[in-house]
């Protein structure tokens, strides 16, 4: 079982990957991850540059949002992460990043359709867009309502959150998740690449790109995530 120190180190490392993978400028993103027993989660402190971030600055909270460890104020987006952990017990980590192409799809309120196997390896279908928050939701707890709009979107569409581990919040940016901090950042990288490729594919086809054949989508996703997955090395 992962100790709290190991969890903070893991979350620190995952946050530092955001700029090195080209997903953020300035401090436009944050990663959190949950403890093995699911009762706590660790998140980036607000406004701290990634390069300066150390594991001891990572903030640990319980699922009521109370700070358990850490001296700094947690990310302003903490309440959004918290809503996702509460609603979906199998989510192990959450990434929020204003990555260029994913954010532009969120601004355009256009879903990222599954046009190829790069997308299918990480997302078993289109990455869809939530409704925008209402004035009341914005006025009364903006971040908590951002989380609730995401949860509502996934539940109303009857989606399995680990089947398509991301959503675009209208006018805002992507939220991405996974079973671990490292898997969630991988998914954020895949979302950004899929969005970039989807834009180009649209430009090449007059805005009407062909969807990936359903049987290829299913097979590609299964070879990485299915019961008989055969990508990568056996876990020790």
Quickly count helices (H) and strands (E) in the chain. 8, 7
CA proximity to 60, closest of 80, 39, 76: 39
Candidates 103, 148, 175, 191: give the one binding a copy of itself (CB under 8 A): 103
Contacts of 10 (CB under 8 A, 6+ apart): 2, 33, 42, 180, 181, 182
For residues 155 and 231, which CB has a smaller minimum distance to a copy of itself in the complex?
A: 231
Residue 17: count other Cβ atoms within 10 Å of its Cβ: 19
Catalytic residue, from 10, 113, 121, 186: name it: 121
CA proximity to 181, closest of 16, 31, 69: 31
Identify whether 231 is a catalytic site residue.
Answer: yes
Contacts of 214 (CB under 8 A, 6+ apart): none
For residues 88 and 186, which CB has a smaller minimum distance to a copy of itself in the complex?
A: 186
Identify whether 121 is a catalytic site residue.
Answer: yes
Candidates 31, 48, 151, 166: give the one binding a copy of itself (CB under 8 A): 48
Site residues (vs a copy of itself, CB under 8 A)? 21, 25-26, 28, 45-48, 72-73, 76, 98, 100-101, 103-110, 115-118, 132-133, 135, 138-139, 142, 171-173, 186, 189-190, 193, 196-207, 209-210, 212-213, 215-216, 219-220, 223, 230-234
């Amino acid at each position: 079982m992962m100790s709290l120190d190991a969890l903070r180190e893991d979350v620190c490392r995952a946050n530092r990957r955001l700029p090195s993978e080209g997903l953020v400028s300035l401090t436009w993103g944050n990663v959190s991850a949950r403890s093995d027993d699911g009762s706590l989660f660790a998140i980036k402190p607000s406004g701290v540059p990634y390069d300066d971030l150390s594991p001891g600055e990572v903030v640990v909270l319980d699922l009521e949002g109370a700070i358990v460890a850490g001296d700094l104020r947690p990310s302003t987006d903490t309440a959004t992460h918290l809503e996702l952990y509460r609603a979906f017990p199998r989510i192990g980590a959450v990434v929020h990043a204003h990555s260029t192409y994913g954010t532009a799809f969120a601004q355009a309120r256009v879903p990222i359709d599954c046009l190829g196997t790069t997308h299918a390896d990480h997302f078993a279908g289109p990455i869809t867009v939530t409704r925008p928050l209402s004035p009341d939701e914005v006025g009364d707890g903006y971040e908590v309502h951002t989380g609730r709009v995401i949860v509502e979107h996934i539940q109303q569409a009857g989606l399995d959150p680990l089947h398509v581990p991301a959503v675009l919040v209208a006018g805002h940016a992507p939220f991405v998740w996974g079973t671990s901090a490292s898997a969630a950042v991988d998914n954020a990288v895949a979302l950004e690449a899929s969005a970039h490729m989807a834009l180009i594919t649209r430009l090449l086809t007059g805005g009407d790109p062909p969807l990936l054949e359903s049987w290829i989508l299913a097979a590609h996703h299964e070879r990485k995530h299915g019961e008989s997955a055969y990508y990568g090395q056996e876990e020790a």
